[in-house]
Chains A and B, each alone.
Chain A
Amino acid sequence: MEQEKFNAWRLISLSPWPHWALALLAVAALAAVWLAGRGLRGETRRSRRWILIGLRALSALLALFLIAEPALQLLQTARVKNRLAVLVDASRSMAFPVEPGGETRSSAASAWIAAHRAELEALEDRVHLEWYTFDKELTPSDPSTLARGAPPRGSATDLVAALKSVASGGTSATRKLAGAVILSDGADNGALASGLGPAARAELRALGAPITALAVGRSAPRDLAVERISVDDFAFVRNTVTAEVTLTARGFEREKVNLVLRREGTVVASKELQLEPGKERYTVPLSFAPDSTGTFVFTVAAPVFPGEAIAENNSRSFVLRVIRDRVRVLLVAGRPCWDERFLRGLLKQDPNVDLISFFILRTSSDNSGPQEELSLIPFPIPEIFGQQLRTFDAVIFVDFAYLPYRALDIERYLPNIRDYVLAGGAFAMLGGEQSFGEGHYQSTPLQEILPVEATEGLASVSEDFRPRLTAEGRRHPLTSLTAGEGPNDAAWNALPALPGLNLTRPLGVQAGARVLLEAPTVLVEGRPAPVVAVREVGLGRSLAVTTDSTWFWGFVTSEQEGSAGRAYQRFWNNALRWLVRDPELTQLQVQPDRPAVEPGEPVGLTLSARTPDYGPAAGAQLGAQLVSEDGKVVAHAEGVAGPDGTVHLEFTPPGPGAYKIVASSERPGFPGERASGAVAVRSSGPEDADAAPRPELLRALAETTGGTFAQLPRSSMPEVKLAEPEVVEVGRRKDVPFWDRWWFLAGLTATLASEWVLRRRWGYW
């Protein structure tokens, strides 16, 4: 009676011995048989030998049998119905007609569901039926809703994602997928946007379920669309950029299309294209050279022709970050020295730096012979400190004095350098016998921009000292040799002592100056002397390095095995980036969540604010405006920076177009910072960009998975292929041991006894 409840069985071992012990015993049993055979090699009578070996083998088998304790496990199993998923495309492209003037694709799909619902439901004796709509996501539905027609509103189509979501569980995680019926126009703009590639094929095969693909939609509506724009995320100013525009044109003859590329309203490139009958896809390169740095929104637009299905997809926007191509640096040295040598070497090998050097190689007191035998050139003071000064991103003085060269009249140009910095330029002065107070700069216009006070009379010291980071130096990007405060401190402490410095007085924070590195053992009026100090002055920045031996951080350090002298490289790279206001080092940064959003989606962005000493500006009042191409503020949002100095702002969905983001920060006692970015709100989503049905994609999908393909409308129900994996559930189970019968033990005793008796009789032992 009870046996009838079990419908499956399997052989198991009830032995408490671990598997490895049983394996060892099996090896021992084999060894026993082998030993028996080896001992009988001299036996001339074959029958005797085989009888004795046979008895030993039988004994070994019985012994193993008794130790392994075999049993029959009776199981109660049940076959679970697998799932058949019916998926109906609910993306926006399903709202287009099956063919010009016909019913919508969505209506065609719902009509087919209504006509064949009963046949599908008849499959429920074999499979569990599940109903879904899908676009870029999967949504459970029911047959009644689908037969009435699900509203086609989805902003994208992703067939593979929908199928994977169904296969991974759908609404019933324990049942496997036996198959899927898909009703769609095949206008996929997700993983299959560019066709069914090998990776997608492998993914679909891995589902293990045949797909019955039913294609709705026969022909594309008349439409011209900017389908895609291929362009890098960033470009170099004044260098030509090419945007490759992919244009699709369906239902056109030989019309001429004038493609226009605009940057925030201004036309920067255009090209006329001649359409050809039968050709649907065109690639048009549009080239232009951005003339200023920043983040801009560009829009490619084609004219809207009469009778087009979608007018919104005739334009498309993209965001491009235009960066400087190379930083132009003027390096002026008062004499050849090692700091100049290594700094020039570093800047020359940097592909991002355009270095212009001028070194004083001879002074008026030097006696080097006739001028025509020298390679010296006149120092072009009026050019570099006059007309050309503003073409430089940074000016660096290395041990350069202006006084000894009265004939050159350098003094006359010092106000130019001050004004250049106040207007947004960058200036650095390195230490030396002709720098700061030793160079008598304290009474020049340069003192107005220097981050330290170069007072005469303080002069310099020639004693070794180890620089130390100040509290501000620990946060500042310029003195960051490595990530993390502790490792950075350790990196600075590992550098060798420096042999001397120019003595200067630090300027206060109120002057916008900060000491980042100081000499704790060299005091100026009771305070550690500045070694590295920075200043925000006017719209520009200045840097003071009061030692003439920064090359110790590179070449001298590199003497130690394992040290590559990277501190020097890192320090000067940081310094240059900070001086020229590398966008990544500005104190306010704006980062849109995405450079372009689909129609109807909100625009999200993150504002990050830092204090002038580069700590997080917690509590700062941050705001951002969306400014349209015609300069109008269309949206505004504000927030307070959290402990990490950031705030996330979101704008309600603005209309399609290109927008400039203008962000600002306000902190009591600090000058406001501004930053800008750009974002594009697309006029059409991917569903509108290309609404052509792709029955060939659905056919390939069906063939790949071993399913069937059919084009709607059709009256008959296509064959729905189903995979039937053996899914067994274990309910009750019972172990029936059969090793514990008395005759197995008796048999073992008998075989052992027989072998013993026969061996005795036949003369063994």
Chain B
Amino acid sequence: MHRRTFLQLAALGAGALLVPRRGQAFGETAKLAIGQIEHGGRWNPRPRALRRLAWEVAQRTSIETGADGVTVRLGKSGLHRHPMLYLSGDGGIPPFREEELAALRRHLQYGGFLLVDSADGSDGAGFDASVRRELARLLPASPMGRIPREHVLYKSFYLLDHQGGRQIVKPWLEAQVLDGRLAVVYSQNDLAGAWSRGEYGDWEFECSPGGEPQRETAFRLGVNLAMYALCTDYKDDAVHLPFIMKRRS
């Protein structure tokens, strides 16, 4: 090859880099990228958990997941780019400002979904007490209630009748409902503790008392939560009922 030809081809190649990207995958915004809420307390006690959950969701379902979880701050613009939010903590959290609560309320009222996960295993103290206080301020007209076992959340992908998590503080999930849909789901069982892998690929925490089956249930619950955020009550449609009832029986 002549030197001039080589230079022309090299120039053409460099020029191609300046052309807008084409033929690449688009649809990043259509994918599931969970927005993790940063707050004034220990807001990210399980930093590798959401990445692991996203990987599992992508492996097990047709849901396309975004890269790592995205950190969001209430009251800052861009909150609505993440219809599914995640709020965690280890220990008490300081009260949200009114404008932060208003932003989160608006997000939920227009169709958003919030998963709240307690990392400290508290019950009536620590994170549990403070987050219940904040959730009551958030949606005062929608009190927290236990999600019934027959709710579509427990059949949105996996058929579930157990709870998962690093520990089982409460054998149920609680929720706040808006317009007939779960807007806030609260787990006291440290779901992220069960999802989290260490730096060397080993599980970061033991799951007790159920061990690995309890961890698998935590992942299945995570999948169902993601599926519920994206499909809501799809599995309540009449066409699914005969199949589900047959498998449940």
Contacts and interface: CB of A to CB of B under 8 A. Distances in A.
Interface stretch (A154-162, A356-364, A447-455, A702-710): A356-364
B156 interface: yes
A699 B23 CA distance: 89
Given A341-B232, A549-B30, A335 B22 contact: no
A432 interface: yes
B110 interface: yes
A338 B80 contact: no
Contacts of B173: none
B243 A377 contact: yes
Contacts of A399: 27, 30
A337 B80 contact: no
A501 B26 contact: yes
Interface stretch (A252-260, A507-515, A551-559): A551-559
Interface in B73-119: 77-81, 83, 103, 106-107, 110-112
A374 B247 CA distance: 8
B110 A373 contact: no
B244 A366 contact: no
Contact of B234 (A349, A357, A501, A548): A357
B54 to A, nearest CB: 14
A63 to B, nearest CB: 69
A338 B30 contact: yes
A552 B80 CA distance: 9
A477 interface: no
A334 interface: yes
B64 to A, nearest CB: 6
Contacts of A500: 26-29
B110 A565 contact: yes
Contacts of B5: none
Nearest to A499: B29
A461 B237 contact: no
A361 B27 contact: no
A460 B26 contact: yes
Contact of B83 (A341, A360, A380, A459): A341
B81 A556 contact: yes
Contact of B158 (A360, A374, A502): A374
Contacts of A462: 21, 24-26, 28
B26 A499 contact: yes
A345 interface: yes
Q: Residue among A345, A375, A377, A565 with the most chain B CB within 10 A?
A: A375
Contacts of B31: 337
Contacts of A308: none
B240 A375 contact: yes
Contacts of A460: 22-27
Interface string B141-169: 00000000000000111110000000000
Nearest to A368: B60
Interface in B212-245: 223, 227, 229-235, 237, 239-240, 243-244
A339 interface: yes
Contacts of B63: 335-337
A345 B80 contact: no
A374 B157 contact: yes
Contacts of A361: 61-62, 157, 227, 231
A357 B232 CA distance: 12
Given A336-B231, A548-B30, A377 B112 contact: no
Q: Residue among B62, B106, B237 with the most chain A CB within 10 A?
A: B62
A408 to B, nearest CB: 14
Interface size class of B (residues with CB under 8 A): 35 or more
Contact of A367 (B29, B60, B233): B60
A357 B157 contact: no
Contacts of B235: 375
A161 B18 CA distance: 81
Interface string B1-45: 000000000000000000011111111111110000000000000
A559 B79 contact: yes
B71 interface: no
A244 interface: no
A38 to B, nearest CB: 62
A503 interface: yes
A362 B83 contact: no
Contact of B30 (A345, A366, A376, A432): A432
Contacts of B22: 459-461, 503
Given A336-B63, A337-B31, A461 B26 contact: yes
A363 B26 contact: no
A369 B219 CA distance: 12
Q: Give chain A's interface secondary structure class.
A: loop
A340 B20 contact: no
Contacts of B32: 336
A375 B111 contact: no
A463 B23 CA distance: 12
B112 A555 contact: yes
B232 A344 contact: yes
B26 A342 contact: no
B145 to A, nearest CB: 22
A399 B27 CA distance: 10
A380 B243 CA distance: 12
B205 to A, nearest CB: 22
Nearest to B241: A377
Nearest to A549: B29
A559 B77 contact: yes
Given A399-B27, A463-B21, A549-B29, A366 B230 contact: no
B110 A548 contact: no
A340 B62 contact: no
A342 B240 CA distance: 21
B110 to A, nearest CB: 4
A325 interface: no
Interface string A319-350: 00000000000000011111111101100110
Nearest to B33: A338
A433 interface: yes
Given A336-B231, A462-B21, A368 B157 contact: yes
Nearest to A360: B62
Contacts of B229: 341
A713 to B, nearest CB: 73
A558 B110 contact: yes
B158 A375 contact: yes
B230 A375 contact: no
A462 B30 CA distance: 12
Contacts of A565: 110
A537 to B, nearest CB: 27
Contacts of A561: 106
Nearest to A334: B62
Contacts of B111: 341-342, 345, 554-555
A549 B244 CA distance: 32
Interface string B171-211: 00000000100000000000000000000000000000000
Given A341-B231, A344-B234, A377-B243, A368 B30 contact: no
A292 B87 CA distance: 53
Given A335-B64, A369-B60, A375 B77 contact: no
A552 B82 CA distance: 11
A119 interface: no
A169 B79 CA distance: 70
Contact of A375 (B30, B157, B179): B157
Interface string A680-721: 000000000000000000000000000000000000000000
12 contacts: A338-B83, A345-B111, A349-B179, A356-B239, A361-B231, A375-B156, A462-B24, A499-B28, A549-B29, A552-B29, A558-B106, A558-B110
Interface of B: 20-32, 59-64, 77-81, 83, 103, 106-107, 110-112, 155-159, 179, 223, 227, 229-235, 237, 239-240, 243-244, 247
Given A344-B231, A368-B158, A369-B158, 20 more contacts: A336-B61, A336-B62, A337-B230, A341-B111, A341-B229, A356-B237, A356-B239, A362-B62, A366-B61, A368-B61, A368-B157, A369-B60, A374-B247, A375-B159, A375-B244, A432-B27, A459-B24, A460-B23, A558-B110, A559-B77
